Amino acid sequence: MTNTEARPIYLDYQATTPVDERVMDAMTPFFTQAFGNPHSTSHSYGWEARDAVEVARQQIATMINADPREVIFTSGATESNNMAIKGVGRFFAGRKNHMVALKTEHKCVLESIKYMQRHEIDVTWLDVNADGLVDPDTVAAAIKPDTALVSVMLVNNEIGVIQPLAEIGAICRDRNVYLHTDAAQATGKIVIDVQAMNIDLMSLSGHKMYGPMGIGALYVRRKPRVRFEPLMDGGGQERTMRSGTLPAPLVVGFGKAAEIISQDLDQEAARIRNLRDRLLKGLQQRIADTFVNGSQNQRVMGNINIGFRGVDSESLMNALKDYVAISSGSACTSTSVEPSYVLRAIGLSDLDAHSSVRMCVGRMTTAQEIDQAIAAISNAVEKLRGAGLVTNAASVAG
């Protein structure tokens, strides 16, 4: 704690979140005391771990208005996305050979669908509008008689926009097509209701919602029943859908994180929205020539994706590295010098994409931090512009 002052202000809650202290406290005994294998059926060590896992399953189910039997624990949203897309693709191979997905999906969805494309699945890649949203009509028009799966993310990890999933869900149910959604960025930010939204498969991630890394879930609808082929062969855990020993301490933490969200969402959303608006207004007041990427209304409360004309985002992040932790695009692709494919998909030029950064306010952010961040960012932008350090996008993109 003594070090906190010296550390950069964390505004990258869409890359990951710290584990909430209440989550940490819930997990600790399951590492050292109640350490049993939740699949051991012959003694109390196993039973207590199993009981704790089932409490967590109920906590996750409550958060999304599901039946606990529909919650399958995985290692994270990457695994859940692979499981849903490849699992449905393989189950229906030869009968339903078409899938639909957005061009702005997370890398692990894009790559899983491209994998199916190499295995004789025909794919319709949907464009989004300039605000980052897809029209439900565009989804409806893409569905064919042999469509097995529509995959539309609930909240985008770069620009924070919220897709009209309830409308898309109604269309998919009507046309008898599975709807999968990557909701890793939605938990703890908006209310998720798998019934109201007619979701059939949904991917969740612990570390995006103040739980631990290495745990996630796939929601799998029971009525009407969703069929897919499991990725993992083994002991048949998780109703044979996902073999492997469940990491009980992580499952417990994930469940606790969900319980906190179910209790506190409204209050937390209002507080974070205020801080985000303070940050955005502060930046816009102090800095000329800015632009905001993605819909302003259909957007989660913590996210900002903002461009500073004439400033290269890599130089900006470098100038800020001791003061504010922000990112350009997603953590998974930020090692590449290619401009963000999400920003390209909403129509930005390479130059504008290379001038844009993502900031995300979260549970631990304070008003004081926001004011310090505004000062640090506006100083850095001013210095970079003054030094004539204009964007070098042309050279890096070439």
Stretch that binds ligand PLP, among 23-31, 74-82, 142-150, 165-173 (CB under 6 A): 74-82
Nearest distance from C-beta of residue 4 to ligand PLP, angstroms: 25
Give me the phi and psi of 308, to 5 degrees please: -115, 105
Nearest distance from C-beta of residue 187 to ligand PLP, angstroms: 10
Which of the 8 DSSP states describes residue 91?
A: H
Please give the Cα distance from 91 to 108 (Å, whole number): 20
Q: Are the beta carbons of 306 and 379 closer than 8 angstroms?
A: no
Number of neighbouring beta carbons within 10 Å of residue 68: 14
Residue 319 makes CB contacts below 8 A (sequence gap 6+) with 380, 383, 384
Q: Which of residues 168-197 bind ligand PLP (CB under 6 A)?
A: 182, 184-185
Place of tokens 């999933």: 165
Figure out which of the listed residues 23, 49, 77, 121 binds ligand PLP, where binding follows CB under 6 A: 77
Residue 78 is a binding residue for ligand PLP (CB under 6 A): yes
Q: Are the beta carbons of 61 and 221 closer than 8 angstroms?
A: no
In the complex with ligand PLP, the residue whose CB is nearer, 216 or 255, is: 216
Stretch that binds ligand PLP, among 37-45, 73-81, 111-119, 301-309 (CB under 6 A): 73-81
Burial letters 223-245, b for 16+ CB under 10 A, else e: eeebebebbbeeeebbeebbeee
In the complex with ligand PLP, the residue whose CB is nearer, 99 or 218, is: 218
In the complex with ligand PLP, the residue whose CB is nearer, 20 or 182, is: 182
Figure out which of the listed residues 36, 38, 76, 136 binds ligand PLP, where binding follows CB under 6 A: 76
Choose, from 108, 172, 332, 360, the residue flagged as catalytic.
Answer: 332
In the complex with ligand PLP, the residue whose CB is nearer, 185 or 305, is: 185
Nearest distance from C-beta of residue 318 to ligand PLP, angstroms: 24
The bridge status of strand 303-308 relative to strand 216-220 is unpaired
Residue 157 is a binding residue for ligand PLP (CB under 6 A): yes
Where do the H-state alpha helices sit in the chain?
21-27, 29-32, 44-64, 77-91, 107-118, 136-142, 165-175, 248-286, 313-320, 341-345, 350-353, 367-386, 393-397
Residue in the shown chain whose Cβ atom is closest to ligand PLP: 76
Q: Is 332 a catalytic residue?
A: yes
Residue 50 is a binding residue for ligand PLP (CB under 6 A): no
In the complex with ligand PLP, the residue whose CB is nearer, 153 or 384, is: 153
Place of tokens 């961040």: 373
Stretch that binds ligand PLP, among 43-51, 70-78, 304-312, 384-392 (CB under 6 A): 70-78
Q: Which of residues 204-223 bind ligand PLP (CB under 6 A)?
A: 205, 208, 216
Nearest distance from C-beta of residue 112 to ligand PLP, angstroms: 11
Give me the phi and psi of 312, to 5 degrees please: -80, 130
Number of neighbouring beta carbons within 10 Å of residue 168: 25
In the complex with ligand PLP, the residue whose CB is nearer, 216 or 307, is: 216
The set of catalytic residues is 332
Chain residues that interact with ligand PLP, rule: CB under 6 A: 76-78, 106, 108, 153, 157, 182, 184-185, 205, 208, 216
